[in-house]
Amino acid sequence: MGCVVVRRLPDGTARPVGRAHNGTESLKDPTAHAEVLAITQAAADVGDWRLTDCALYVTKEPCPMCGGAIVLGRLALVAWAASDPKRGAHTVFGMFSHPGLNHHPATLFPVGGPEILAELQGFFRDLRRERG
């Protein structure tokens, strides 16, 4: 999984302020999802936990934990290439439009094309084969 957080600047340009890949296995940390790591970097770069002028782009739809971080961080937009029909924060739990939450980021999915979904599916297929 890969994630980038991009900040819209006052002059209309944008720049990356956080980027990460999934570190759950390498860091032995169940919270080390790409989104959480990229949001942490973005907040440090921006100097505020409110990321209202930022957009998050990620390979696969965020899980509920990452969805919570997106809502709490007040990100303006979250975009992903492949939805997660088993545990997607938006697809399954409706977190980004839930009336009980205080922030509702705009969503954009799927981004990219079928080749991105095919590559992601191939990655997970190969991973399952390696693990037996």
- List, by residue number, the catalytic residues: 35
Q: How many alpha carbons lie under 13 Å from residue 78 in its C-beta half-sphere?
A: 32
Instruction: State which amino acid sits at residue 50.
Output: R
CA distance 54 to 21: 18
CA distance 53 to 77: 9
**Dihedrals phi, psi of 4, to nearest 5 degrees:** -135, 140
